Amino acid sequence: MFRTPICRLARPIVFSAKPIRSSRMITAHAVVFADHGEPCDVLSTHTYEIDENNLDANSILVKTIASPVNASDINQVQGVYPSQPEKTTQLGTEKPSAVGGNEGLFQILKVGASVTKFEEGDWAVPTTVNFGTWRTHAVCSAEDMMKLRNPDQSVASGKKQGLNINQGATISVNLLTAYLMLTHYVQLTPGKDWFIQNGGNSAVGKFASQIGRILGINSLSVIRDRPNLEETVESLKTQYGATQVITEEQNNSRDFGAEVKKWVQETGGDIKLAFNCIGGKSSTAIARKLGKNGLMLTYGGMSFQPVILPTSLHIFKNVTSAGFWMTALLKENPNLKQKTIDQFVEWYEDGKLVDAPSVETKFTGGDLAQVYKDAIANSKDGKQLVVY
Amino acid sequence: MFRTPICRLARPIVFSAKPIRSSRMITAHAVVFADHGEPCDVLSTHTYEIDENNLDANSILVKTIASPVNASDINQVQGVYPSQPEKTTQLGTEKPSAVGGNEGLFQILKVGASVTKFEEGDWAVPTTVNFGTWRTHAVCSAEDMMKLRNPDQSVASGKKQGLNINQGATISVNLLTAYLMLTHYVQLTPGKDWFIQNGGNSAVGKFASQIGRILGINSLSVIRDRPNLEETVESLKTQYGATQVITEEQNNSRDFGAEVKKWVQETGGDIKLAFNCIGGKSSTAIARKLGKNGLMLTYGGMSFQPVILPTSLHIFKNVTSAGFWMTALLKENPNLKQKTIDQFVEWYEDGKLVDAPSVETKFTGGDLAQVYKDAIANSKDGKQLVVY
């Protein structure tokens, strides 16, 4: 269903007429699964050798700088995610296996003779999902990676700063989701129009409000009540660019709706988009705030409740409810990612964008699978990033 | 918000330099409401005179052949419907009032000097909603009506038969709803693709399956279980063209889903459209049967439950849920109605379409408002049609 990167084993050295380059072996580790189940049960480390001096002409050898754990990575291992990497024996595993992980930052170590798009030292991220990013190294086609300016290149091109590792390693999923939902579906008028989102304190939520600030689109972020509410609201507004922040209780209150209407009227625009990652009555309440012809995009269901939409919103306000799945969208529009990621790099370089912090674990050798198993177990404490 | 027909009082006869035609008065009755509330409380008969010999150049005088009671007419009187006729004193009512009803069949009695689009004896239906069809006569602009071939005209043009009164009087709402939902949104491949609908035994449901049969689109109609189930299924299939009919219980059964999949696979198509007029779990169950990228249109909410959509349908199957409101669609696309109604007349003339039966009441004089109040009270027994 999805394009799978062609990862090759080091070729056995055979005697042939053509001159054989001296082999130089790298020991690589990859976190693989042959069967679906709970990550702690099915993930294991596969260790194998890569000959860095015997690359195919169109191949590249990369080493991993960092790769995070996303919820969809876990669902993929569990077998409850519709997009799955192909399981093969290409890495030399006994049973056909796949490498976990979909997002990550890589550095080019070596390029094949015909590769012009990369140089050694370049940074790169996978072109598509299902690359398998929980690994120390990979050999793949140059087409399977897209270039990212590394910090030296940013500075050399006159920028004050380049990407940090967390920014590069988490540029492909949440940021891209926020950007595409905000820009790909509805024409919003800067300075006037609004979007509303539940999960306003999530990584996607923070990116969406920041992108809103950059593009001049007003945002109304809904968050759960919490002990440090004022502080969170303040941070979402000043640091992450939210125009207004309300609680789920305010979101559900019909009376408070008048306040929201006032804010929107003051800008002379309308709430034209809603992003739902929660479902249930939270989805109902943000949909109710949409103006006529509004669109709600659902990209998650954290409450495990379905999307609930009053009939009258559909019929008399022409509100439409649709889904957002980046995997499917990028499959249909493969150029969107490169174009978008170039934009993100610029925003990071210019200090316009703040990355969502990750909890970092340094891999210093040992059982790589255990490092990701621990990270998965700790995911409740925040986004986990394994740095190599 | 909506174009209101210009209905005029008979002009007072004034002495002027131009020759005065002799006046010939018609006594007209209209069912009006000045305030919103329960129809039995707020509807009353207003009686007034129309001078048929003093029409404006662009006006026409029509008499009503028949007009039905639709659910939305009742909601309009109650004040719970978003589209409302303007209340005026143009008919000579003491308080600004509106005439009830939105659908009806009329006959042209007289045309103004500049009117070329109608001749006396033509049949016509209102161009837009909010005409006020619960009345014996109306004077309006020629633009407010669109022509329908009357039975004599049909026979004269070589057709075996013309419209009957019920067909003409109910051509504007349910039939149009079914046709537009089936043809205006999604490209369906004849012989292969399917639509699914709950409310399969409703007037819209029966029209939709019939139009499906004419256009070669397969239909899966969901109906409630009932004592005469087999008979109803048989009638929906043979008389009303449904390809398959299932009960709500089967609709909700995951096991039965396999049977539905088999039917769809046999045609080599997909279920691309769903029509929901019920909501709640019935809407969930028909949405689940949609194929990838399917669209559900909601046009009613008979269960008073909201539309409920599992998150995964949105995200991973890219199912979209939208509303259908004919009033808004025709406002945006005013030509759709004339084009479509011409097609319906042909289908009726050719015997391809069967009308949904109405319970007819003949108005023979007396209190017209009471006739409609009784019809509203009897609406539970079937669609009510007042014939003049």
> What pLDDT sits at residue B11?
43
DSSP state of A54: -
B264 burial (CB, 10 Å; 0-12 / 13-18 / 19+) is buried
Test B306 with A301 for CB contact under 8 angstroms: no
Rg (CA), chain A: 23
- Residues 6 or more apart whose Cβ sits within 8 Å of residue B200: B206, B209, B221, B222, B223, B236, B242, B245
Looking at this predicted complex, what is its ipTM?
Answer: 0.89
Of B310, B318, B321, the CB nearest to A314: B321
Helices B174-183 + B335-349 axis angle, to 10 = 110
**Other beta carbons less than 10 A from residue A379's beta carbon:** 16
> What pLDDT sits at residue B9?
40
Test B309 with A320 for CB contact under 8 angstroms: no
Q: Does B5 touch chain A (CB under 8 A)?
A: no
Report the residue of B84, B315, B319, B327 to disrupt the A interface, i.e. the one with the largest count of A CBs within 10 Å.
B315
Handedness of CA B324, B327, B332, B333 (dihedral sign): positive
Q: With CA atoms as reference, report the closest residue to A368 among A71, A48, A34.
A: A48
> What pLDDT sits at residue A21?
64
Test B314 with A328 for CB contact under 8 angstroms: no
Q: Does B258 touch chain A (CB under 8 A)?
A: no
Encoded amino acid at A113, one letter: A
Cα distances from B332 to residues A250, B104, B132, B328, in angstroms, run 35, 22, 21, 6
| pTM of the complete model | 0.90
Report the residue of A315, A318, A330, A332 to disrupt the B interface, i.e. the one with the largest count of B CBs within 10 Å.
A315
Distance (Å, rounded) from C-alpha B237 to C-alpha A159?
70
Of A82, A308, A314, the CB nearest to B298: A314
Encoded amino acid at B388, one letter: Y
Q: Does B291 touch chain A (CB under 8 A)?
A: no
Positions of chain B with pLDDT under 50: 1-18
Distance (Å, rounded) from C-alpha A258 to C-alpha A264?
10
pLDDT tens digits, one per residue of A330-339: 999 888 898 8
Under DSSP, is residue B117 helix (H, G, I), strand (E, B) or coil? coil
Q: With CA atoms as reference, report the closest residue to B321 among A355, A172, A318.
A: A318
> What pLDDT sits at residue B79?
96
Q: Does B307 touch chain A (CB under 8 A)?
A: yes
Of residues A91 and A12, more confidence is placed in A91
- In sequence order, what are the beta bridge partners of B109? none
Test B311 with A325 for CB contact under 8 angstroms: no
> What pLDDT sits at residue A224?
96
- In sequence order, what are the beta bridge partners of A307? A280, B309
Percent of chain A with pLDDT over 70: 95
How does residue A11 score in pLDDT terms, banded at 50, 70 and 90?
very low
Residues of A with CB below 8 A from B306's CB?
284, 308-311
> What pLDDT sits at residue B101?
98
DSSP state of B242: -
Q: Does A312 touch chain B (CB under 8 A)?
A: yes
Give how far A192 is from chain B: nearest CA, Å: 24
Task: Please identify which residue in the block is written with the tokens 């039965």.
Answer: B256
Q: With CA atoms as reference, report the closest residue to B278 among A315, A311, A318, A309.
A: A311
Q: Does A307 touch chain B (CB under 8 A)?
A: yes
Task: Please identify which residue in the block is written with the tokens 């004040």.
Answer: B79
Of B306, B310, B313, the CB nearest to A309: B306
Residues of A with CB below 8 A from B300's CB?
311, 315
Cα distances from A317 to residues A155, B78, B337, in angstroms, run 50, 19, 21
pLDDT tens digits, one per residue of B42-76: 999 999 999 999 999 999 999 999 999 999 999 99
Handedness of CA A354, A360, A365, A366 (dihedral sign): negative
pLDDT tens digits, one per residue of A297-335: 999 999 999 999 999 999 999 999 999 999 999 999 888
DSSP state of B97: B
Cα distances from B110 to residues B118, B137, B143, B212, in angstroms, run 9, 11, 14, 39
Closest residue, chain B, to A303 (C-alpha) = B311
| Active site amino acids of A | 81
Given a cut of 60, whether residue A19 has pLDDT beyond it is no
Given a cut of 80, whether residue A10 has pLDDT beyond it is no
Give how far B320 is from chain A: nearest CA, Å: 5
Q: Does A284 touch chain B (CB under 8 A)?
A: yes
> What pLDDT sits at residue B20?
56
How does residue A23 score in pLDDT terms, banded at 50, 70 and 90?
confident
Under DSSP, is residue B57 helix (H, G, I), strand (E, B) or coil? coil
Give residue A293's region: left, alpha or beta (phi > 0; psi -120 to 50): left
Give the DSSP per-residue string, A137-181: EEEEEGGGEEEE--HHHHHHTT-S----HHHHHTTTTHHHHHHHH
* Mean of pLDDT values over A221-240: 97
Residues of B with CB below 8 A from A313's CB?
323
The strand ranges marked E within chain A are 25-33, 44-51, 59-69, 98-99, 105-111, 123-126, 137-141, 145-148, 194-197, 218-223, 244-247, 271-276, 295-298, 307-309, 320-323, 359-362, 384-387
Test B318 with A322 for CB contact under 8 angstroms: yes
How does residue A22 score in pLDDT terms, banded at 50, 70 and 90?
confident
Encoded amino acid at B315, one letter: I
Distance (Å, rounded) from C-alpha A78 to C-alpha A76?
5
| Active site amino acids of B | 81
State residue A365 phi and psi, 5-degree precision.
110, 170
Under DSSP, is residue A68 helix (H, G, I), strand (E, B) or coil? strand
Is the Cβ–Cβ distance between A78 and A37 less than 8 Å? yes
Of A82, A298, A310, the CB nearest to B314: A298
> What pLDDT sits at residue A339?
86
Report residue B122 as tokens: 């033509």
Distance (Å, rounded) from C-alpha A372 to C-alpha A336?
30
Q: Does B324 touch chain A (CB under 8 A)?
A: yes
Test A315 with B309 for CB contact under 8 angstroms: no
State residue A2 phi and psi, 5-degree precision.
-115, 155
Closest residue, chain B, to A322 (C-alpha) = B320
Q: Does A319 touch chain B (CB under 8 A)?
A: yes
Q: Does A321 touch chain B (CB under 8 A)?
A: yes
Of A82, A308, A323, the CB nearest to B308: A308
Q: What is the mean pLDDT of chain A?
A: 93
- In sequence order, what are the beta bridge partners of A62? A108, A138
Given a cut of 80, whether residue A2 has pLDDT beyond it is no
Closest residue, chain B, to A80 (C-alpha) = B312
pLDDT tens digits, one per residue of A88-111: 999 999 999 999 999 999 999 999
Test A321 with B311 for CB contact under 8 angstroms: no
Is the Cβ–Cβ distance between A98 and A71 less than 8 Å? no
